[in-house]
Amino acid sequence: MSVRRIWASLSTLAIAAVAAIGVAGPASAADSAAAGGYVALGDSYSSGVGAGSYLSDSGDCRRSTAAYPYLWQAANSPASFDFVACSGATTSSVASSQLGVLSASTSLVSVTAGGNDVGFADVMQDCVLGSEATCLASVDAAVGQMNSTLPGSLDALYDGIRAGAPQAQVVVLGYPRFYQLSGSCIAGLSEAERAAINNASDVLNDVLAKRSADAGFTFSSVVDEFTGHELCSGDAWIHSVTVPIENSYHPKAAGQSGGYLPAFRSAV
């Protein structure tokens, strides 16, 4: 065999070896997260209240197969999946009743918590049923709690998550603004009430972002994803006052798949 043919043969083998290595490629961040266990913690925004298709064994927690945690695990097949988010959960109830599924092998955690700590449901009830003055006072009281007691409650929860899953990437997701101002709604709350509620959502998200950063967690806002799909937008991904009443002011299935899932996926 000539020297030229020997070098040609060696080159062909080298190219084939590189190509074979290239087929495998580097693992994506999602692949790395899926290699371990995924735990979905939190309140109704993580359990999927308002999205329908509730798992029969989830009871009043209303965990939905249309919720972003379920959609992510279906697409990524993590080694294990513990979906324990529950409607009505607060930071303290997440800490006391949901963290038991965390372990050293947990590689990914998602959580939404904080809205119920500041009386989100009561605020919306005051705004829907009460006067504008009552609504604005209720919103102001909630904002006061966000700035005073909520940071400590979040710190305690985040400390518990880190202790239970010391190696995990933890993604804290925020809450959407509810209203498109100067939108298509011609009845219901006043523009001042809608603006105050949106501002409260911004304050809550700011608190979540700061506390999660201090804990070494990743905060992912959903505000951009929901922009153009708020109430009064004409294409809302959030329920207004509706029956059953627990769906009110929660994301529809479209809000989970088009809002929360992309926000979560971008952080993993």
Share of the chain above pLDDT 70, in %: 88
pLDDT at 109: 98
Coil vs helix vs strand at 24: helix
Q: CA-CA distance, 120 to 180, in Å (whole number)? A: 19
How does the average pLDDT of the chain come out, rounded?
A: 91
Angle at 46 between CA 254 and CA 240, to 5 degrees: 50
Tokens linked to 94: 């997440």
**pLDDT level of residue 29 (50, 70, 90 thresholds):** low
For 241-254, how does the pLDDT look when each residue is reduced to its tens digit (9 = 90+)?
A: 998 999 999 999 99
Closest residue by Cα to residue 171 from 106, 216, 120, 116: 216
Coil vs helix vs strand at 88: coil
Tokens linked to 151: 């940071």
Closest residue by Cα to residue 227 from 187, 259, 263: 259
Asked if residue 114 is part of any domain, the answer here is: yes
Q: CA-CA distance, 94 to 194, in Å (whole number)? A: 29
Asked if residue 120 is part of any domain, the answer here is: yes
Query: Is 44 annotated in the active site?
Result: yes
**pLDDT level of residue 28 (50, 70, 90 thresholds):** low
**Active-site residue, selected from the candidate residues 53, 250, 257, 266:** 250
Asked if residue 66 is part of any domain, the answer here is: yes
Asked if residue 10 is part of any domain, the answer here is: no
For 53-67, how does the pLDDT look when each residue is reduced to its tens digit (9 = 90+)?
A: 999 999 999 999 999
Closest residue by Cα to residue 225 from 264, 186, 253, 187: 264
Q: What is the mean pLDDT of residues 222-234?
A: 97
Asked if residue 259 is part of any domain, the answer here is: yes
Asked if residue 18 is part of any domain, the answer here is: no
Asked if residue 20 is part of any domain, the answer here is: no
Asked if residue 13 is part of any domain, the answer here is: no
Residue 170 is part of a domain; what is its CATH number?
3.40.50.1110
Tell me which of 11-15, 109-113, 230-234, 256-260 is least confident: 11-15
Q: What is the mean pLDDT of residues 211-221?
A: 98
**Active-site residue, selected from the candidate residues 44, 58, 107, 248:** 44
Angle at 90 between CA 80 and CA 244, to 5 degrees: 90
**pLDDT level of residue 238 (50, 70, 90 thresholds):** very high
> Facing residues of 56 across strands?
none
Domain that holds residue 51: 28-267
Tokens 């904002």 — which residue? 143
Query: Is 77 annotated in the active site?
Result: no
Q: What is the mean pLDDT of residues 144-154?
A: 98
Domain count, the chain: 1
Question: Three-state SS across 91-152?
Answer: HHHHHHHCHHHCCCCEEEEEEECCCCCCCHHHHHHHHHHCCHHHHHHHHHHHHHHHHHCHHH
pLDDT at 34: 75
Q: What is the DSSP letter of 259?
A: I
pLDDT at 187: 84
Beta-strand relationship, 169-173 and 218-220: parallel
pTM: 0.88
Q: Are 238 and 33 in contact (CB under 8 A)?
A: no
